[in-house]
Amino acid sequence: MELFKFNPGSIPVLISMPHNGTLIPDELRPFYTANGLAVEDTDWYMDELYGFGRELGCAMLESLISRYVIDLNRSPQNENLYPGQTSSMLCPATSFTGESLYINKPPNSEEIKQRLSRYYQPYHDQLNSWIQETLTRYKIAVLYEAHSVKSQLPRLFEGQLPELNLGTNCGQSCKAELKKIVWAHLQKSSYTSVQNERFNGGYITRHYGQPENGIHTLQMEISQRCYMNESSLEINQANFQKLQIFLKNLITSIINWTRQYV
């Protein structure tokens, strides 16, 4: 079974899409409810939205497995990323709206261990491999986490989410000058934006970000109302194209920043 798609790229920038996948393996499907099989909490269309990354030379890593099987952006120890707040777990039992994902019981500790080995570890092995090879070649590696989420999810946050949500683990996951460049792009845009608020960066951003060792990570959480109809899941072509142009310029600015180190 193909678990992810990987394009090695030709520059020290990788766009990671750990929540783009919709696949629930056949052997697991009988355990899921209809809500679970609908995989409604997918980060829809990230592969298409960031499709320009290939022409820019970026490495691209896209999960094909649904986050309902196992969340690639959570700690393998299942630690809560946001203590005191509702947050999805390594193998979520409910959707973001609180609907049960399993007909009976969610996976037990042994089943989670199997999922870690079978579905989780290969993605992180590929991430690690790219980072080490890129550091060897360029002495720098930038990991951009591409995410999206419904604009209103009362279980997770109050009110309506800003359109662009930058997370850098409170500025610890990348150099200050890189964060400043990205934040300047957000502020100059027509989109509402915040940094390091409800989405401060998931496990991948926090775990791999080591700017002192040349590894810079950041996460962009996009409100899905920016580019699609959240009810029908259909792309809004005009909004999609507008957002894609903005993101292409943003990624280009990140690439330009890396050139001083290459």
3-state secondary structure 183-208: HHHHHHCCCCEEECCCCCCCHHHHHH
Q: Please state, in angstroms and as integers, the Cα–Cα distance from residue 243 to each residue in 51, 102, 140, following that order.
A: 12, 35, 28
* Nearest one of 100, 58, 90, 60 to 202, comparing CA atoms: 90
Average pLDDT value for the chain: 96
CA distance linking residue 135 with residue 153, whole number of Å: 38
* Nearest one of 21, 27, 9, 38 to 231, comparing CA atoms: 38
- Domain containing 43 equals 4-258
pLDDT digits (tens, 9 = 90+) for 141-189: 999 999 999 999 998 899 999 999 999 999 999 999 999 999 999 999 9
* The residue type at 10: S
Place of tokens 């037990």: 108
Tokens of 52: 């320009």
117-134 CB burial, b ≥16 within 10 A, e <16: eebbbebbebbeebbeeb
Tell me what the mean pLDDT of segment 228-253 comes to.
98
pLDDT over 90 at 135, yes or no: yes
Q: Please state, in angstroms and as integers, the Cα–Cα distance from residue 229 to each residue in 96, 149, 191, 224, following that order.
A: 18, 12, 17, 8
Domains identified in the chain, total number: 1
pLDDT digits (tens, 9 = 90+) for 65-95: 999 999 999 999 988 777 666 667 899 999 9
pLDDT reported for residue 92: 96
Query: Considering Cα of 132, then 133, then 135, then 141, what sign does the dihedral take?
Result: negative
CATH number at residue 47: 3.40.630.40
Percent of the chain with pLDDT over 90: 93
Torsion of CA 94, 83, 162, 219, to 10 degrees: -90
